[in-house]
Amino acid sequence: MPLIRVSLRRGKPAAYRKAILEGLYEAMRETFDVPEGDRFMVVTEHDADDFVYDPNYLGIKRSDDLVIIQLTISNTRPRAQKQKLYRRIVERLTENPGLRAEDIFINLVEVLPENWSFGHGVAQYVK
């Protein structure tokens, strides 16, 4: 159950933001075996003064269209599967809504399965 947070500069249309979320969801379904309907996603828009990044860090030429994607996931997937996810996200988001690969920043935060409660104050993944 990934929890996805997307941060970007303010001003993109709703269809653009929706395309990002849809692309992320489809990439997770294709590479992470995320079940249908497992959608917990938030988009946060920021004014320029509140969205700070290095436009050349590690030699990658970023623009103001940078999208920062943070996925909180259970620590159950191997490195190769994570790398497939990164590639598929970039493929999906360059296709729609047309992001540049350089403007897609992805960060995974891994937590133990016991760190999730989907409601009712119960840790549903604890057996």
Active site residues: 2
- Contact between 46 and 9 (Cβ < 8 Å): yes
CA dist., res. 77 & res. 123, Å (int): 20
**SS3 at position 43:** strand
Q: Closest Cα partner for 24 from 73, 58, 71?
A: 71
